[in-house]
Amino acid sequence: MRERFWELPLEQLDQQEWEALCDGCGRCCLVKLEDEESGELAFTDAACRFLDSRRCQCTVYSDRHREMPDCIQVTPALARDSHWLPRTCAYRLRAAGQPLASWHPLISGRADSVRRAGISVTGKVVSELTVDEDDWEEHIIHWVS
């Protein structure tokens, strides 16, 4: 990978650099609720059934779109135009021309810096399989935005 590749525009990253930009927080894998009238988005503590919340990794990553057809592919355009990525997301920050946070592993040099900074969902979520869809509103959280 190129030196300081994360400072480049997202469109200039190769696949390996793109993947390395992810901070591994797991927040994008949380069930989100959107108010149909206002468009306001709320994050829940219910995580995708395929998220290993201890490691904050998808257990079916290479097949995620087949296993979970509504799993959204993060692209530079989506990172620029979507509010469903958390404000802390490296893709969203870079799409807006902002630097990575000091806790990002590419900056800190530590794989556990996301968890240590309290950004990771480790220990904070439940599987969507354990929450009835009618109860999702009861799982709205305020530690992600």
Q: What is the pLDDT of residues 3-21, one digit of tens each?
A: 999 999 999 999 999 999 9
Q: Angle at CA 66, nearest 5°, toward 61 and 69? A: 100
Beta bridge mates, 52: 57
Structure tokens at 39: 């468009």
User: Do 23 and 6 meet the contact criterion of CB atoms below 8 Å apart?
Assistant: no
pLDDT for 81: 87
pLDDT for 83: 84
Instruction: Please tell me what DSSP assigns to residue 142.
Output: S
pLDDT for 104: 98
Segment-wise mean pLDDT, segments of 10 residues, the chain, 145 residues? 96 97 95 92 96 95 94 93 90 97 97 95 96 96 84
pLDDT for 143: 86
Structure tokens at 84: 């469903």
For the whole model, what pTM was predicted?
0.91
pLDDT for 24: 95
